[in-house]
Amino acid sequence: MKGIRGFKDILPGEVEKWQYVESEGRRVFGLFGFLELRIPLLEKTELFARSIGESTDIVGKEMYTFPDRDGDSLTLRPEATTSIMRAYLEHGLDVKEPVGKYYFIGPMFRYERPQKGRYRQFHQIDAEILGVQEPQADAELLVMLMRFLGGLALQNLNLQINSLGDPACRGPYREEIQKFLRSKSEKLCEDCQRRLETNPLRVFDCKKEECQAQLAGAPVVLDFLCPDCRRHFERVKGLLDELRLPYAVNPRMVRGLDYYTRTAFEVVAGDLGAQNAVCGGGRYDGLAEEIGGPSVPAIGFAIGVERLVMLLPEEKNYLRYPDVFIAALGEEAQRKGFALAQELRDAGVWVELDYEGKSLKSQMRKAGRFKTPWVVILGEEELKKDRAVLRNMATKAQEEVALEEVIKRVKTESRET
């Protein structure tokens, strides 16, 4: 039996990279005052339909939706933003402390066609600032994002930003783009002909070349911004300039979810191929109301962990190795070695040992595979004197030490290596 298509196992050897990016994320987000908020895997389907939008690809054809035993329609979360906002409102966090900065790391589910960098179960590192409408929040979030990505030594990243305006300025833009595309309607794919009537901005998202070709010369939303939205966008750009954070304005970026207002952004990686967005995000000042809450301005991002891990520099070693291997020869030594291993672990040392009573040669080979810097050799002769041999695997130097000294020595040596 095999696993499900688009659902990946993450094995030791690879998982260390995941642990590294996750712990770096927690560390950097902590510096900016973000707290972890854990959301459930399932929500009522209606929640995502209302927030992400009925006419988006995610809600239209990518959600894992099923009736539970009571007949309620449930959906495996395709993203985290909606659930974080739901939790914030449901628990009255907006009343206790209106400014909420939260992050979440975990798997998301979308029924997309699997390919390199695109899976049906994928993982996001998500961060959200709730309750702040000022452009400072946009700038701070982007600074945090780029600090985090930069700290991982990723190369060839490009931060693209846009403003999608608010519902007031998007209305006239929507009409304009609809008018523009209607004149080219017969050249659009079937999906886009439908999008043209239901949600014309979604045509920008279409991956098909024939549709992209029709978009040449299309009006862009930046030209339709109302004075408030324009001011907001200018201020965000001004703050990024002051902070010397490089970015490019991409007036054609619309994002694949309907809840965005004003600032929208993506981080694109030159080295990823077709699925090159390593992060996407933006402001969603209307989402709280869409799901039945009060008005809560908010902005956030989500990083695709699979794509992030693919971009980590190859040279760096993310693996960790045991501090010491215990090679024991003979039954008595094995018994002693087993006890010593537990004592060393109690003292905080990572110990590996052989379970099968193999020859010294074979145990040394095993220690080599574990790449431990030290091996404690317990032989019958040494044990008679309550001593053991400590071998430095790099220099091959060996010395005899008293058994009671072993823990102290290994602890100091492993700290020094």
The tokens describing 285, both together, are 């000042």
| Residue 118 interacts with ligand HAM (CB under 6 A): yes or no | yes
Of residues 203 and 277, the one with the C-beta less far from ligand HAM: 277
d(CA 168, CA 243): 31
Q: Which of 281, 286, 337, 373 binds ligand HAM (CB under 6 A)?
A: 281
Which range touches ligand HAM (CB under 6 A), out of 9-17, 132-140, 277-285, 330-338?
277-285
- Least CB distance to ligand HAM at residue 230 (A): 21
The tokens describing 222, both together, are 């930046």
Of residues 34 and 122, the one with the C-beta less far from ligand HAM: 122
Chain CA centroid to CA 380, Å: 52
- Least CB distance to ligand HAM at residue 272 (A): 9
Which range touches ligand HAM (CB under 6 A), out of 42-50, 274-282, 364-372, 382-390?
274-282
Q: Which of 43, 57, 79, 382 binds ligand HAM (CB under 6 A)?
A: 79
| Contacts of residue 262, Cβ cutoff 8 Å, sequence gap at least 6 | 138, 163, 164, 165, 166, 229, 232, 233, 282, 283, 285
Q: Which of 45, 75, 81, 363 binds ligand HAM (CB under 6 A)?
A: 81
Q: Which of 89, 154, 277, 410 binds ligand HAM (CB under 6 A)?
A: 277
From residue 383 to residue 412, the character string flagging contacts with ligand HAM as x (rule: CB under 6 A) and all else as - is ------------------------------
| Contacts of residue 388, Cβ cutoff 8 Å, sequence gap at least 6 | 376, 377, 378, 382, 400, 401, 403, 406
From the CA atom positions of the chain, what is the Rg in Å? 28
Of residues 79 and 94, the one with the C-beta less far from ligand HAM: 79
From residue 290 to residue 329, the character string flagging contacts with ligand HAM as x (rule: CB under 6 A) and all else as - is ----------xxx-x-xx----------------------
Q: Which of 106, 131, 251, 256 binds ligand HAM (CB under 6 A)?
A: 256
Contact predicate 125/300, CB 8 Å = no
The 3 state secondary structure assigned to 181-225 is HHCCHHHCCHHHHHHHHHCHHHHHHCCCHHHHHHCCCCCCHHHHC
Q: Which residues bind ligand HAM (CB under 6 A)?
A: 79, 81, 110, 112, 117-119, 122, 124, 126, 128, 256-257, 277-282, 284, 300-302, 304, 306-307
